[in-house]
Amino acid sequence: MPIFERAPIGDLFGKTQFKPLHKYILEVKECADQLKTLIEAFIPGDYEKVEEIANNISRLERPADKTKTDI
């Protein structure tokens, strides 16, 4: 049996990491997008809002951390 009938060409290459990397980038961007709002709340001293935004960023970081670990 010829080699190409035994091993599909796709099986010769490893799994691509581009999709998980793209997912990770989008998750990190979502966290980073919150920073401007956090700073805008911090400057006038709205520390309750700062804490709320910081907690939201922390919540958003968890899936990004898992994705990074999976990569």
The pLDDT tens digits for 22-49 are 999 999 999 999 999 999 999 999 999 9
H helix or E strand, kind and range, residue 44:
none
Q: Quote the pLDDT of residue 6.
A: 62
Position 16 confidence tier, pLDDT thresholds 50, 70, 90: confident
Segments making up each domain of the chain, as ranges: 15-70
Rounded to 5 degrees, what are φ and ψ at 66?
A: -65, -45
Average pLDDT, the chain: 88
pTM of the predicted protein model: 0.70
The count of residues in the chain is: 71
Tokens of 11: 């099986």
